[in-house]
Structure 1
Amino acid sequence: MENKMTAVSLFTGAGGMDVGFERAGIKVIFANEIVKEAAETYKANHPRCNIVNDDINNVIDTMDQYRGVDLVFGGPPCQGFSVAGKMDPDDERSKLIFTFLDVVEKVLPHVFVMENVKALGKLDKWEPVREKYIDRARKLGYNCAPFILNATEYGVSQKRERVFFIGIKDNLDPFFEHHMNDCIDKQKNPAPVIRELLASLGKAGTDKNPNTCTAKITFATHPVMRKSPYAGMYFNGQGRPMNVDGYSNTLPASMGGNKTPLIDEEYLYGNETEDWVVSYHKELLDGSIIPEFKEAPSRLRRITINEAVRIQTFPDDYVFCGNKGKIYTQIGNAVPCKLAEAVAKAVVAYLQEQN
């Protein structure tokens, strides 16, 4: 039996990335997560892995013991770079991508994979940070490049675009980026639409799909209109309606209250032939209805934890710890398991080709 590749997981969260890397045949031997509930979730699902619930800055000095593992991977908090956030380069969280490289320097793995928001991989604003990151990796002996992927192309029913910085140690391949892109492309696997993905769960309030978000849905008195019924802001809070005949938008870490996406229960699981939001949007557009602050019909509701778990491609039986709000946050913060799996399999394939 061949020996499994070993890995260290950083900024682990609930373990979405770890699930993906394990599916690619990689054994995680150490994980680090600062949030207590997320660390408990990780432990419940990965009992054999040593998880340390602490600030990464407090564990760096102990990382020498893992020198020589095959991989270091993780997704440092991205709020500092996020278009949805303040995009502040001085945000403490923006510095954690370099803390990630501090660990790489201690461990000197054969490969590292760092996930972050698309903006860090693409926006001109972050070019100096990107260059600094790749330059530091180069000085540590890594051939490193960013790869921007859309989760929907890798089996995830969610329009979530992320950058993965992949670094290979002592790699002299002049066409590294081109060859790695080929390996990633081979992992493409179209995702089912939301309706197909969630069909077997059934209506909220059943054993398979408990109703976990009770945040009321009321109409916005000043709706923000867009061409698409799924793009504007027609309800209180920032929970957008979800197009169940397509893909969900990125599930946010702020889910749990009125920022939780909403669906039309009867259109998804019942006999209705049109999404209520679509007809409401039409009426708003043609002026045949005047919005007022009242509750939306009961067929509209927030997505449940179990639905969010599926959209992030966690296994249905994955155990989450903490209260409902903390669980929604862990799910929204995670790297979708199938996206991580595609990246991990591509890295493994690339290494085999190089050998």
Structure 2
Amino acid sequence: MDLFAGCGGFSEGFRSFSTTGHAREHAFSTVAAVEYAPAAAATFQANHVGAKVMCVDIEKFDAYDFEGGIDVITGGPPCQGFSGLGKGDTFDPRNSLWEQYARIVSQVRPKAFALENVDLFFKSYEYERLQEAVQPRGPLADYTLAEGILNSADYGVPQARRRAIVIGTHRSVGKAITLPAPTHAKVPARTDGLLLFDAEPRLLPWVPVDLVFERSAALKISGTFLPDRQGAGNIAGPFYTREIHIGRNPTALSLARYQAIPAGGNRVNLRGVEAEVGGRIVYLGTESWDRHHNGSGDVMGRLRLGQPSVTIRTEFYKPEKGRYLHPLEDRPITHYEAALIQGFPEDYLWHGTKIEIARQIGNAVPVGLARAVAEAIHHRLAT
């Protein structure tokens, strides 16, 4: 069961895990999902046809019908109240939505659950309350927790995205499930031309974004609009991942800024730079950017070849929000490229407007990270 399911990143990771190595032989299948946003729920349903997808307010969801029928519950409660990019509002009502997750776990009583959030979740009051929930007489008293901050790049995802992961193991399972061990490392040491790693088994190097852009280079950007297509409930779509390779129409000033930023550069490269825009000479930087010598360095930044991307957020199509410019071309990354960086396959189906789909992509759990969690849980449950 997938809660706060979004477009299905967690479920896609679990579905893509196979004990045999064959993509069509799934170790897990999603039985049910709860998602409040209609477009995201439509995307989830389009890709997980056999699941019962409920587009409802999770506070009104009664899960007792699923008691005893679910092995694993996954989910990522909203993170805006914890995110360093947000207001950090201690009283944001979304902060306590993890309680609904805990309520459903206590009703369904799965063998295990996996909860995902931003890394600052572990420093929050709500996390303290989650720890209290597993104490005697708490709603999750039958569960033992394993928690840690995992970087998706350490699991073969071409994106350095740090996430708080909590895995709960029901006492009936026995030994607690542990977090997945990394399969990749940032920079292995070099000795006599050989790659050496600090840990055993030997880890692979981080996966860079290069392959994503090699794939997108073979696909023409299809304008600035999605195809004119409507699904059930008058929700736009479905669109294959390759159909959301859409661009933007930048202003002349924005385009001049893109052109002035070198490979690996960012807003700092615009300091003191002028260019002709619309027949007049204008300054390409801003007073705000010039005043800040620390922080926000990734604004108007180019993704770096040879490295994983930065965290893909919900407004990745706006380079003024972060390091979201193409490594070489004078444009922001597309929805298609962002979806590939998150690990979604070419044949994944999307519903919604451009903004809704971008929000789905940015909010998703990276598929490769979810797959690693699935493997750790399956390994314990199968033994």
- Residue 295 (structure 1) aligns with: none
Q: Which residue of structure 2 lines up, in the alignment, with residue 338 of structure 1?
A: 368
Aligned residues: 297
- Percent identity, aligned pairs only, is 31
Q: Distance in 1 between matches of 2:205 and 2:53?
A: 33
Number of the residue aligned with 1:213: 248
Number of the residue aligned with 1:149: 150
Task: Tell whether 2:214 aligns with 1:199.
Answer: yes
Partner of 1:66: 66
Secondary structure (helix, strand or coil) at the match of 1:220 reads: coil
Q: Distance in 2 between matches of 1:67 and 1:239?
A: 49
Aligned to 1:245: 306
Using the TM superposition, give the Cα deviation of residue 129 of structure 1 relative to its aligned residue in structure 2, in angstroms.
2.8
Q: Distance in 1 between matches of 2:205 and 2:356?
A: 30
Equivalence for 2:45: 43
Q: Given that residues 146 and 178 in structure 2 are in contact (C-alpha distance below 8 angstroms), is that contact kept between their aligned partners in structure 1?
A: no
Deviates more, 1:136-145 or 1:40-49: 136-145
Displacement of 1:10: 0.3
Aligned-partner Cα distance in 2 for 1:190–1:76: 31
Please give the per-residue CA displacement for 1:131-151, whole angstroms capped at 9, x wherever unaligned: 320221343310113121001
Tell me how far apart the structure 2 counterparts of residues 187 and 193 of structure 1 sit (CA, whole Å).
14
Separation in structure 2 between the aligned mates of residue 110 and residue 16 of structure 1, nearest angstrom: 21
In 2 relative to 1, CA 100–205 (structure 1 residues): closer, same or farther, beyond 3 Å? Answer: same
Task: Work out whether residues 154 and 182 of structure 2, in 8 Å CA contact, stay in contact via their aligned partners in 1.
Answer: no
User: In proportion to residue count, which structure has more helix?
Assistant: 1
The structure-2 alpha-carbon separation of the partners of 1:52 and 1:260, relative to structure 1 and needing over 3 Å to count, comes to farther
The question of whether the paired residues in 2 share the 8 Å contact of 1:261 and 1:303 is answered with no
Match of 1:328 in 2: 358
Deviation at 1:215, TM superposition (A): 4.3
Extract unaligned runs of 5+ from structure 2: 18-26, 185-203, 223-241, 258-283
Which one of the candidate residues 256, 259, 264 is aligned to 2:321? 259
Tell me the SS of whatever aligns to 2:100.
helix
Superposition map of 1:134-173 within 5 A: 134-138=131-135, 139=138, 140=140, 141-170=142-171
Matched, 1:16 2:9: yes
Contact 1:214 1:302 in 2 (8 A): no
CA distance in 1, matches of 2:120, 2:285: 30
Q: Structure 1 residue 221: deviation in Å?
A: 2.1
* Distance in 1, Cα, partners of 2:127 & 2:117: 12
**TM-score when normalising by structure 1:** 0.76
Deviation per residue, 1:236-267 (Å, 9 max, x gap): xx5532212312111111334453743346x3
Structure 1, residues 74-120: CA drift from partner, whole Å, max 9, x if none?
A: 00111111111122221111011111001111111111111011111
Instruction: Structure 1: state its 5+ residue gaps.
Output: 1-7, 268-298
Contact 2:300 2:325 in 1 (8 A): no
Post-superposition offset of 1:180 = 1.1
Q: Distance in 2 between the 1:136 and 1:57 partners?
A: 18
Residue 214 of structure 1: CA displacement?
3.2
Q: Which moved more, 1:245-254 or 1:35-44?
A: 245-254
Alignment of 1:78-117 (within 5 A): 78-117=79-118
SS of corresponding position for 1:78: coil
- 1:330 shift after superposition: 0.7
SS across alignment from 2:248: coil
CA distance in 2, matches of 1:148, 1:350: 20
Kept after mapping to 1: 8 A contact 2:78/2:94: yes
Paired residue type of 2:14: F
Q: Distance in 2 between matches of 1:312 and 1:264?
A: 16
Q: Which amino acid aligns with 2:116?
A: E
Partners of 2:206 and 2:307 within 8 A in 1: no
Aligned amino acid, residue 92 of structure 2:
D
Aligned residue for 2:53, secondary structure, equals strand
CA shift, 1:173, in A, is 6.0
Change (3 A) 1:260 1:226: closer
Secondary structure of residue in 1 paired with 2:132? helix
1:82/1:119 contact within 8 Å kept = yes
Deviation per CA, 1:34-78: give whole Å up to 9, x if none. Answer: 01111111111112211011110121x2x1011111111100111
CA contact (8 A) 2:316 2:338 kept: no
1:27 aligns with 2:57: no
Inter-partner Cα distance in structure 2 for 1:187 and 1:351: 21
Q: Distance in 2 between matches of 1:308 and 1:77?
A: 20
Q: Would the aligned equivalents of 1:204 and 1:211 in 2 still touch at CA under 8 Å?
A: no
Distance 1:163 1:70 in 2: 22
Question: 2: CA distance between counterparts of 1:12 and 1:97?
Answer: 13
Of residues 286, 297, 301 in structure 2, which corresponds to 1:232?
A: 297
